[in-house]
């Protein structure tokens, strides 16, 4: 690795712009986006996390042909731990395979029940 800064190549930027011009884009209804972001904010997610998670879920819902409000209604009956696990799985499926997200299980266990005393 070097400490030399990378230079901007205007030809590369122009080529990338025109290559991306004909790629299909997904559009979402405003009320779907607001409802999804609002749902995740009400569950304790930060604003940026809510937007990122809602974008991934709306994209996946559109690909699968599921209505956004149906998805929200399905998620409403889930507790926080299960919601975290579901969101983690969906985000891992939609990110680079180089890394993945995980979560820590913080269940408390009774140490006296776990040990085995042999005489």
The answer to whether the predicted template modeling score (pTM) of the entire model surpasses 0.95 is: no
| Structure confidence at residue 92 (pLDDT) | 80
Q: Residues 16-33: what's their mean pLDDT? A: 81
Retrieve residue 111's tokens. 């140490």
| Structure confidence at residue 112 (pLDDT) | 61
Mean pLDDT of all residues belonging to the chain = 79
DSSP secondary structure letters along 18-86: HHHHTS------HHHHHHHHHHHHHTT--HHHHHHHHHHHHHHHHHHT--HHHHHHHHHTS-HHHHHHH
| Structure confidence at residue 38 (pLDDT) | 95
Among residues 62, 52, 65, the alpha carbon closest in space to that of 25 is found at 62
| Structure confidence at residue 6 (pLDDT) | 63
- The rounded distance, in Å, linking the Cα atoms of 94 and 72 is 19
User: What ranges do the domains of the chain cover?
Assistant: 30-93
Retrieve residue 78's tokens. 């889930």
* 36-95 tens-digit pLDDT: 999 999 998 899 989 988 998 898 888 888 999 999 998 888 888 888 888 888 778 877
Among residues 27, 80, 46, 35, the alpha carbon closest in space to that of 88 is found at 80
pLDDT at 106 over 90: no
pLDDT at 33 over 80: yes
């Amino acid at each position: 690795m070097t400490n030399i800064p990378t230079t901007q190549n205007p030809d590369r930027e122009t080529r990338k712009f025109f290559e991306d011009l004909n790629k299909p884009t997904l559009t979402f209804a405003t009320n779907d986006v607001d409802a999804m972001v609002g749902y995740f904010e009400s569950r304790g997610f930060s604003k940026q996390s809510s937007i990122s998670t809602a974008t991934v879920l709306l994209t996946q819902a559109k690909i699968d042909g599921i209505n956004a409000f149906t998805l929200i209604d399905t998620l409403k009956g889930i507790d926080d731990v299960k919601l975290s696990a579901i969101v983690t799985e969906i985000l891992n499926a939609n990110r680079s395979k180089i890394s993945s997200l995980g979560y820590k299980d913080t269940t408390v266990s009774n140490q006296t029940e776990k040990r085995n005393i042999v005489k």
